Structure 1
Amino acid sequence: MIESTKTWKIQRPDEMFVQQLQKELDISSLAAKILASRVQTIDEAKDIFYTDDDHLHNPYLLSGMKEAVERIELALERGEKILIYGDYDADGITSTTVMLNVLLDLGADVDYEIPNRFVHGYGPHEELFRKAHENGIQLIITVDNGISGIEPIRLAKELGMDVIVTDHHEPGDELPPADVIVHPRIPEGHYPFGELAGVGVAFKLAHALYGEVPEHLFEYVAIGTIADLVPLRGENRYLAKKGIEYIRHSNRPWVQALCEVSGVKQHEIDEEVIGFYFGPRLNAIGRLDDAKPGVEFLMSEDMQSAAVGAKLLNQKNNERKDFVNEITKEAIEIIENNPEIGNSLVLVVAKEGWHAGVIGIVASRLVEKYYKPTIVLSIDPETGLAKGSARSIDGFHLYNELAKNRDILPHFGGHPMAAGMTLSVDNIDELRNRLHQQASECLTEELLTPKLSIDVLVDLSEATVEAIEEVQALKPFGVGFEKPIFAIQQVSVRSMRKIGANEDHIKMELENAHGIIDAVGFNKGHLYNEITYGVKLSVAGDLQINEWQGRKKAQFFISDVQTSEWQLFDYRGKANVNQLLKTIPMESAFVAFREETVQYFRGMLPSVQFIGDGISDSVSPYLVLLDLPKQLHEMEMLIENVKPKRIYAVFYTPNSLFFNGMPTRKHFAHYYTLLKSRPFVDLNEHIPHLSRHLGLNGENIKFMTKVFFELGFVTIENGLITVNQFAEKRSLAEAATYQLRKQQIELEQQFLYSTYSELKQWFNERIKDFSYS
């Protein structure tokens, strides 16, 4: 049995709707199932399947656009100094770059500013606005921020500067006193698509200023939109898709340099490359330091400066990874070694010196590992304050729960799944205790179990190269239109092997009546020791195309595996059994029926449970049978009590009797006649002679001698055997030694020398009625 740590939620779209989509859009069942799991109508499906220029809305539909364009054109006419005020993440950097491009093209006297995360924090900052005024700035245009900068913008107005706010973040109850606000959701519902990223809003302003679609800016919009995790629906989907096409064919030096340091091929760039390679590098520069080099990089016009900028971004990204890995490791140690922290339903970890720019990523890592709402705090010993980031899970509305603690949280903000905060070090434990209590009132065991949402159950007959190519035509995938997760049920392993330098990965062939498919599990080499041939598996993951030497083939990338069947692992007679035992999960129950087995394995295993001492009710369902029982009913009782999900058959037998066999009645009669013909026999001296005469080995002769002794047929004194002439006639089966040998041989035949199928069938007959929950 292989149990997933996640609850699989399998979408089962209406079959009639799937068929309708296939017919209307002329697509495969695979693509139709994906769409059917995401949309409710044919029109919605068409909106996704056919993303065309109709998705790009008139920029003047945005409230304030006309006024913003007029004010900027007035500044151009007057030769006023303009400042673009951006943000330090990938969305903010690309937004700044978009506005710089358009204003420079229009001949503006323009500069830009990006606040430092550690000095100024997020959004408009009074010190930077005062500096702008001193430098003669007459018009400030914010991009990807500004909607919450009420006081700094009020100051800018008092100083005589005009302010245009372009933003997409959630507005508060009070809006800033800017001259113009361009925001897709202000006023609510005025614009056809309200989920633009900051760079999307900047692009709309650029569109209006140019008077035509600025196609040369699509690359920036795609990166900022995908990196900011806004929904890839509607206009965002169009902008991302169009931008990816342009990036693939771009001659810009920065695109080529970014591909070089990221190790990707330009023609293969897609939303995953942007999300996992490009976005993190642009984000890293602002997480660790001043973000301005990110803008300079995107504005670079020659390969030399682009290469220098890309190298810096890559360096910062590597530093970011190191910080994240180190802090994550330290946070896990704190959680694992402090029961008060580890047992809390909301994890709150804090330490001096943690880099504030990456603790949000650390919080996400901890949520992935523990699946609990998590807050990671960096303590500043000089101020006595802890500054941190939080990430949540479904069912725990982070912002609302934090809001219940305003008395100890003077500064916090965010949304249901993420937040940032600052509080006194003295209140960290109190916050943890309160949040634990709040979580206990709303988080059930079901909510605390991670979910795996599976879009499509795949029949292997559907997994063709053509169908997978059609699925890839549904790209880009992202927030709001997630990359589909596939599942294949009831498949068996045809072959499997570990791959990779450290054998960390696994490669398999999976099959059922509908076909065969190659499967790869990265960082899942452990499955090699957890899967047995013949068991029916369900696998979840991704369908891709593997192309090798011009030949295309469907391939499944495994993210999760489960099976409800119990499994038998056959370690009988293995020469390297001691090494194999190390691969068995340590939470397994290592069981021995004989005391000598306990002694033999002592030191090799964490513990061995001796049947003679009884088996507790809480014994692990992963059962390792180290040896054979003395009687069959002992094995049957163990199986009945434990109800195993896995059985590892070792059956260590140092003195096997099966091949020695049981001497026949003729052997016993011949030996007895021989003993009667002599006054006495010295067994130790005459064993070689007896072996040749009887055709039996010494062990069998000693066994028969012991049977005769137990039945009173002979006496043994000082090693000399003498026949008892007056012994009563008795059956050989009356001797305990005879019975034990017979049972041992039968047990060996049943368990040790049976085929795998025969052994599994024996256990099957005793396990089949169990119900695993």
Structure 2
Amino acid sequence: MKQEKRWLLMETDEQIVRQLAADLQIPPVIAGMLVRRGVTDREAAKRFLEPDKSHFYDPFLMKDMAKAVSRIRRAMVNNEHIMVYGDYDADGATSTSVMYLALKKLGAQVAYYIPDRFEEGYGLNGPALVQAKERGFQLVITVDNGISSVEEARIANELGLDLIVTDHHTPPEVLPDAYAILNPKQPGCPYPDKMLAGVGIAFKLAQALFGELPEEFLDLAAIGTIADLTPLIDENRLLARYGLERINKSPRVGIKALIEIAGLGGKEITAGHVGFAFGPRINAAGRLDSATFAVELLTADDWDRGMELARFLDERNRERQDISAQMFEEAVQEIELHPEWLDGRVLVIAREGWNAGVIGIVASRLVERYYRPTLMISLTEGMGKGSARSIHGFHLYDAMNGCRDLFEHFGGHKMAAGFSISGDRIEELRERLNQIAEAALSPDDLIPKIEIEADLDLLSLDFEFVERVSRLAPFGFGNPIPRFRLRGLGLDSCRTVGADGAHLQVQVSTGAAKLAGIAFRKGPEAELIRQWQRLDLVGELAINEWNGRRSLQIILEDWRPNEQQVFDCRHVQHKVSWLGEQAGAKDLSVVCFHEEVVSEVTRALAPYPWQEPHFHRVLLADGKGNLSQVALVGEEAKEAEERSASAGQRPETLLGDIVFYDLPQSMDQYRAVLQQLKGPFRLYLLHGSVDKQWIGRKTSCWLPDRKLFAGVYKMLQESPMTDSEIRQRLKPAYHEALDLILSVFVELGFAVRNGVAYHVNKGTNKRALEESELYQKRKHRIDSYVRVIAALIDSSSEQTVREVMRLVTANPEGANSDGFEEQDSRDSRFSGAGNSV
């Protein structure tokens, strides 16, 4: 089932947008996209849209760069042996390749070393440094790691090894005592771009060593930058742009082999191909085997060897896919066994024997499914290796830093992290991270969002607009693929395509304008969409070229039916008559929020002899909003139910004409039922002022008046009585209130319970009912509920329809906890404060 997402139309300062559009002579939509990416004036726009290699910053602006270059040059003059100490992911492999090839070209005595993910783990380690010393190395240069290696730096110093750290991860409070540290994020570093990947810093060091831009390494820098999900702005944008250009014009042996093995020969390579075709294959080496195979591929100069390595990585990637699919299913099963975990804000999942090289991928998939920060841990002999992924709005590194005492090691940034931890500390980690997340994340933050650049009219779409949008490429993290919304489109066709109908293809139109759409891996949604006549779409615009013909298409991200209507019928005074009339004209699904009204509704739906036969369902909502079918009415009820079942619809599915008959027990219940409206529907709100008297009687039973308290007390004064004896003397309407009355008497000391009978406590002083905590709690709940009911009854028709539709689609950004936008407090607003009583 497709996960519901919130659509957010991005806001921008319209004055700045208009000015930029006028200055650049571009459409306001394009100007708005630039402004949202931090481009607010003509000069910044020129730098963004017309990048130039002269825009690269001077590498010597980076703290310690001159010191690092001086030490490396001295090593080359003295013929010292240099070790490049890398990492096993795509950023680490490309960083290692850039540094190794650069030093090799300069004539240095250089070798590279990448730790074994399973035996050594991430980053520098003491035994590897000892081995480096024994092999005759005098200088170690880390790439994409080392910023947290305080102890390892101390070991290097004791061994007489000089250490140059190049890393882009968030620096800890205490930095390693290295000869030089290249990290734009470290305190006191004036370098303008703080968001370089590890390969970006390696590239800058190569630039400083060469004295000019080392263009031959732009391809490697682009792959590492894109694969590591660094923001594609500033220098990262330059690296990605010119690196992709180099890949398409003159790919090195290893990259050309990757292109062939991924089936991309003859295609223009984009950032998407790097992220989804190159990155996983390069990463597969370090996840299941040794990342040295990836570095060997990227530095290869022999075509046959390059193809051999590319095939090997492709095989490992397929194996990785199988392993990650199995681990994902196991993780989901683990979560289903502990549903209480989903009550928290952070998922922490651990299991013996999981592949430590794949847990990061699986953690990302779990984030997609559950939209919570997720930590996945592989346990071996009581020790865990973990990988963490976050969601927007939750700084993962800062949160984990607040639990630093629990980890053996950890490092990362706001969206991802790696760590090791003792198995007996995992439960405490789960508790503490959830406490941190409870303060940092609201329930609204746990709903995935799609950021929409603008609403577009299909009639005005053309190739020129799509080509203008493409000038903002390369797209990636920090410069997201632009997604647009088109509304009220007619659905001309909907079918599944691909192996086993895996993908969804639609044809939509507005007037004479037509547009094709494709949604990958969404084939199962076809049945639902075919029921719709008109729909709203969100997706990425593209130009499809096939057999020499060009056409516009939209790559679908999300979709909704456009046929969703709410009718305000709260003014109806004779609900039974109204329901009977409607029942003679259409099939109805009637939702009851209180069991007491079910029989009334069922009688009202009974058909008259002269009416056309129709099929009606009566649904009862429990306190949490879960629906159950409690009655079927109509001559064709059985046949209609069979048709619904054959169409895959559950009895409680809300489709077609729906009636909310009575007022809800709580706003939470109301919201839960509304959010089950997924397809086309016409919703009739029949609850209204006519229900006020009935609700008044209900609340008087839930919170009895003083007269009833006094009456029960008088009975007990006459003689001790059991609960059932008191009920026999009360009207049935007051039975519901008796439990509260007796509990309050016991709490205040007015009565005591001996066995099953209640006795008056004659020695008790006079006390007010308001002194009872039970009484106050019940009163608070009743007051809150009354406010909810007042809002549902008294809100204007326009306001009611608008707010109900907001609850159906999703809570708007900036909404309060009830899903309604905050407005002037004088407005009558629905309130979620009331709980079921």
What is the TM-score of this pair, normalised by structure 1? 0.73
Partner of residue 192, structure 1: 192
Question: Aligned runs of 1:48-447 on 2, under 5 Å?
Answer: 48-265=48-265, 267-380=267-380, 382=381, 384-405=382-403, 408-447=406-445
Q: Cα–Cα, structure 1 residues 604 and 286, in superposed 2: closer, same or farther, change >3 Å?
A: same
Counterpart of 2:237 in 1: which secondary structure? Answer: helix
Quote the sequence identity (%). 43
User: Higher mean Cα deviation, 503-512 or 21-30?
Assistant: 21-30
Partner of residue 654, structure 2: 622
Q: 1:363-415: CA deviations, max 9, x gaps?
A: 111111111222222122x3x22332222334444344445545654544444
User: Higher mean Cα deviation, 540-549 or 453-462?
Assistant: 453-462
Q: Cα–Cα, structure 1 residues 519 and 601, in superposed 2: closer, same or farther, change >3 Å?
A: closer
Distance 1:21 1:11 in 2: 17
Q: Cα–Cα, structure 1 residues 156 and 421, in superposed 2: closer, same or farther, change >3 Å?
A: closer
Distance 1:435 1:539 in 2: 37
Answer whether contact 2:490 2:535 (CA < 8 A) is retained: yes
Q: Cα–Cα, structure 1 residues 464 and 566, in superposed 2: closer, same or farther, change >3 Å?
A: same
Shift of 1:647: 7.3
Distance 1:606 1:529 in 2: 12
Q: Which structure would you say has the larger Rg?
A: 1
Q: 1:560-608: CA deviations, max 9, x gaps?
A: 012353389x99xxxxxxxxxxxxxx98969732488449967994999
Question: Aligned runs of 1:278-677 on 2, under 5 Å?
Answer: 278-380=278-380, 382=381, 384-405=382-403, 408-513=406-511, 515-531=513-529, 535-563=533-561, 565-566=563-564, 592-594=632-634, 597-598=637-638, 605=645, 620=652, 622-623=654-655
Shift of 1:645: 6.7
Shift of 1:461: 3.5
Q: Cα–Cα, structure 1 residues 82 and 370, in superposed 2: closer, same or farther, change >3 Å?
A: same
Distance 1:69 1:502 in 2: 57
Distance 1:600 1:494 in 2: 27
Q: Which amino acid aligns with 1:387?
A: K
Distance 2:165 2:418 in 1: 23
Shift of 1:342: 4.3
Q: Cα–Cα, structure 1 residues 467 and 590, in superposed 2: closer, same or farther, change >3 Å?
A: farther
Distance 1:497 1:606 in 2: 19
Partner of residue 662, structure 1: none
Distance 2:24 2:648 in 1: 62
Answer whether contact 1:3 1:562 (CA < 8 A) is retained: no
Q: Cα–Cα, structure 1 residues 142 and 311, in superposed 2: closer, same or farther, change >3 Å?
A: same
Distance 2:536 2:644 in 1: 34
Distance 2:802 2:644 in 1: 34
Q: Which runs of 4+ in 1 moved over 6 A?
A: 606-610, 635-645, 767-770
Shift of 1:476: 0.8
Q: 1:304-344: CA deviations, max 9, x gaps?
A: 00001111211221122112111000111121233333444
Shift of 1:215: 1.4
Answer whether contact 1:510 1:517 (CA < 8 A) is retained: yes
Distance 1:98 1:409 in 2: 32
Answer whether contact 1:589 1:609 (CA < 8 A) is retained: no
Q: Cα–Cα, structure 1 residues 393 and 593, in superposed 2: closer, same or farther, change >3 Å?
A: same
Distance 1:537 1:186 in 2: 50
Q: Cα–Cα, structure 1 residues 3 and 459, in superposed 2: closer, same or farther, change >3 Å?
A: farther
Partner of residue 694, structure 1: none
Answer whether contact 1:567 1:645 (CA < 8 A) is retained: no
Counterpart of 1:553 in 2: which secondary structure? Answer: strand
Partner of residue 712, structure 1: none
Q: Cα–Cα, structure 1 residues 475 and 608, in superposed 2: closer, same or farther, change >3 Å?
A: closer
RCO greater where, 1 or 2, for CA within 8 Å and sep 6 or more? 1
Q: Which amino acid aligns with 1:538?
A: D
Counterpart of 2:173 in 1: which secondary structure? Answer: coil
Partner of residue 759, structure 1: none
Q: 1:118-154: CA deviations, max 9, x gaps?
A: 2222222111111111111122222222222222222
Shift of 1:278: 0.7
Shift of 1:273: 0.7
Distance 2:516 2:132 in 1: 60
Q: Cα–Cα, structure 1 residues 69 and 241, in superposed 2: closer, same or farther, change >3 Å?
A: same
Partner of residue 24, structure 2: 25
Counterpart of 2:500 in 1: which secondary structure? Answer: coil
Distance 1:605 1:184 in 2: 61
Shift of 1:345: 3.5
Q: 1:413-467: CA deviations, max 9, x gaps?
A: 4444333333333343444344445544543321221111112222223421122
Distance 1:116 1:4 in 2: 38
Counterpart of 1:329 in 2: which secondary structure? Answer: helix
Shift of 1:556: 0.8
Q: Cα–Cα, structure 1 residues 640 and 191, in superposed 2: closer, same or farther, change >3 Å?
A: closer
Counterpart of 2:487 in 1: which secondary structure? Answer: strand
Q: Cα–Cα, structure 1 residues 40 and 76, in superposed 2: closer, same or farther, change >3 Å?
A: closer
Q: Which amino acid aligns with 1:496?
A: C
Distance 2:103 2:241 in 1: 25
Distance 1:500 1:608 in 2: 23
Question: Aligned runs of 1:749-760 on 2, under 5 Å?
Answer: none
Distance 1:600 1:533 in 2: 17
Answer whether contact 1:379 1:387 (CA < 8 A) is retained: yes
Shift of 1:251: 4.6
Answer whether contact 1:28 1:470 (CA < 8 A) is retained: no
Partner of residue 668, structure 1: none
Q: 1:618-666: CA deviations, max 9, x gaps?
A: x9461489xxxxxxxxx989899999775799xxxxxxxxxxxxxxxxx
The number of equivalent residue pairs is: 622
Shift of 1:475: 0.8
Shift of 1:482: 1.4
Q: Which amino acid aligns with 1:194?
A: K
Segments of 5+ residues of structure 1 without an aligned counterpart are 572-585, 611-618, 626-634, 650-766
User: Higher mean Cα deviation, 50-59 or 533-542?
Assistant: 533-542
Answer whether contact 1:344 1:432 (CA < 8 A) is retained: no
Counterpart of 2:538 in 1: which secondary structure? Answer: strand
Shift of 1:554: 0.8
Distance 2:224 2:637 in 1: 64
Q: Which amino acid aligns with 2:174?
A: E
Distance 1:509 1:115 in 2: 51
Shift of 1:28: 4.4
Distance 2:186 2:402 in 1: 28
Shift of 1:770: 11
Counterpart of 2:349 in 1: which secondary structure? Answer: strand
Shift of 1:223: 0.8
Q: Which amino acid aligns with 1:21?
A: L
